[in-house]
A and B are shown apart, each in its own frame.
Chain A
Amino acid sequence: DAKTTQPPSMDCAEGRAANLPCNHSTISGNEYVYWYRQIHSQGPQYIIHGLKNNETNEMASLIITEDRKSSTLILPHATLRDTAVYYCIVRNTGNQFYFGTGTSLTVIP
């Protein structure tokens, strides 16, 4: 089963870029990498996903290494509202998501 490893916590200054790393060394060739975030007391919210190429949307950018064994989520200008737990996810066998414990990002004023 493809699993992910993330640092448990990170801080980022408001207005700066937040770079959240994720290792997924057992990912297989057709598995996508997804990122979700969970703000306190809410359900997880989709951010972005990718397969091989870097992706960008209105929320974030996703950089995937060429060997696909790791990726980085980039929030280009972090705000206080970006304080949340960020989950990097790959598909588990049976087409389920394995969430893990994520990275708790604190954006500091």
Chain B
Amino acid sequence: DVKVTQSSRYLVKRTGEKVFLECVQDMDHENMFWYRQDPGLGLRLIYFSYDVKMKEKGDIPEGYSVSREKKERFSLILESASTNQTSMYLCASRLGGAIGVSGYTFGSGTRLTVV
């Protein structure tokens, strides 16, 4: 089974801190994604990557950046954390190839609180 591992289950950070959320997948998937989930808003796409060193903005990229130096690892970076970035962050990966055919595998999520 594909496994997507997010390094932290819970994080508490201070306003203004630089925050790194790490995600690792073990099945050689090309595509990786970062979502945030907030009550009443569902899952919203922040950034995604089709391959190593590639990145694309999702629907809400402001205040975030990403890094994909290795195929298995996709990092989400909050350059200067703010309280409105308190949220559940979900990482997902997907085998590349034919559009729409293969689904996503999600990690368990990181619940980030910015105080």
CB-based contact B42/A102 at 8 Å = yes
Chain A interface residue number, banded? 20 to 34
From B35, B43, B104, B109, contact of A42 by CB (8 A): B109
Chain A nearest Cβ from B96, distance in angstroms: 9
Q: How many chain B residues touch the partner (CB < 8 A)?
A: 25
- Determine whether B74 belongs to the interface, using a CB cutoff of 8 Å to chain A: no
A32 partner residues in chain B, CB cutoff 8 A: 100-101
CB-based contact A43/B100 at 8 Å = no
B103 partner residues in chain A, CB cutoff 8 A: 34, 36, 46, 49
List the count of A-B residue pairs having beta carbons below 8 Å apart: 52
CB-based contact B104/A97 at 8 Å = yes
CB-based contact A45/B106 at 8 Å = yes
Q: Give CA–CA (A94, B49) in the complex, Å.
A: 11
From B31, B40, B99, B106, contact of A30 by CB (8 A): B99
Nearest to A48 among chain B residues (CB) is B103
Main secondary structure of the interface of A (DSSP, over half): loop
- Determine whether A21 belongs to the interface, using a CB cutoff of 8 Å to chain B: no
With A30-B99, A30-B100, A102-B42 known as contacts, the answer to whether A94 contacts B106 (CB < 8 A) is no
Binding site for A on B (CB under 8 A): 4, 31, 33, 35, 40-45, 48, 56, 58, 90, 92, 99-101, 103-109
Nearest 7 interchain pairs by C-beta: A43-B106, A99-B43, A101-B42, A32-B100, A91-B100, A46-B103, A44-B106
Binding site for B on A (CB under 8 A): 30-32, 34, 36, 41-46, 49, 87, 90-91, 94-97, 99-102
